[in-house]
Structure 1
């Protein structure tokens, strides 16, 4: 939205400058068809540029949201793998304890 506002302000400043340079003694009665066409053309250009900027901004926002979701999914998978690794390590330590116990206390 910041880009759209800045582009709109720049286009407005350019149009005011051009209007001031071309019409020194302008009154409301002098408003004619060329001025209306210029105003509509400026609005059209602003809408076209605004649409393109909005399209690009929305596309990048969607990509950022997708990357964030993928990152969260990877974090969940990492936590699950860490839990599995902890469970495997716990089982291995229990098996080692059982082996040492059976080796130390053989039954006849």
Structure 2
């Protein structure tokens, strides 16, 4: 998101500089084929770059979220495993204590 914001601000600054420091003839803008091709080509490049940067930003955040979810699941599995081992050990201790108390 910061990349697209920076590029957008840079493009606006360039367009403002072009507007104020160049001699533009407004009468030929919409009649020249080159101008219309430039407008549509510039818009196309802008959409391509914006789409790519948006995908890149989203890809990073999705991977980060997936990594956090995977780490949380690993922690839960390790905790469950420890509880199961504790339960098994407690069952063995209880069985041994029952044997000792019953005299078998």
- Unpaired runs of at least 5, structure 1: none
CA radius of gyration, larger in: 1
1:81 aligns with 2:81: yes
Q: What is the match of residue 18 of structure 1?
A: 18
* Count of aligned residue pairs for this structure pair: 102
Instruction: State the Cα distance separating 1:98 from its structure 2 match.
Output: 3.7
Q: Distance in 1 between matches of 2:4 and 2:92?
A: 61
SS in 1 for 2:59: helix
Instruction: State the Cα distance separating 1:66 from its structure 2 match.
Output: 2.1
Q: How does 1:21-100 map to 2 (within 5 A)?
A: 21-23=21-23, 26=24, 28-29=26-27, 31-32=29-30, 33=32, 36-98=36-98, 100=100
Higher relative contact order (CA 8 A, sep 6+): 1
What per-residue deviation string (whole Å, max 9, x for no partner) do you get for residues 31-64 of structure 1? 4535555444433332121111012112222212
Q: Distance in 2 between matches of 1:10 and 1:68?
A: 35
Aligned alpha-carbon RMSD (Å): 2.8
- Unpaired runs of at least 5, structure 2: none
Q: Is the 8 A contact 1:11 1:46 kept in 2?
A: no
Question: Which ranges of 4 or more aligned residues in structure 1 deviate by more than 6 Å?
Answer: none
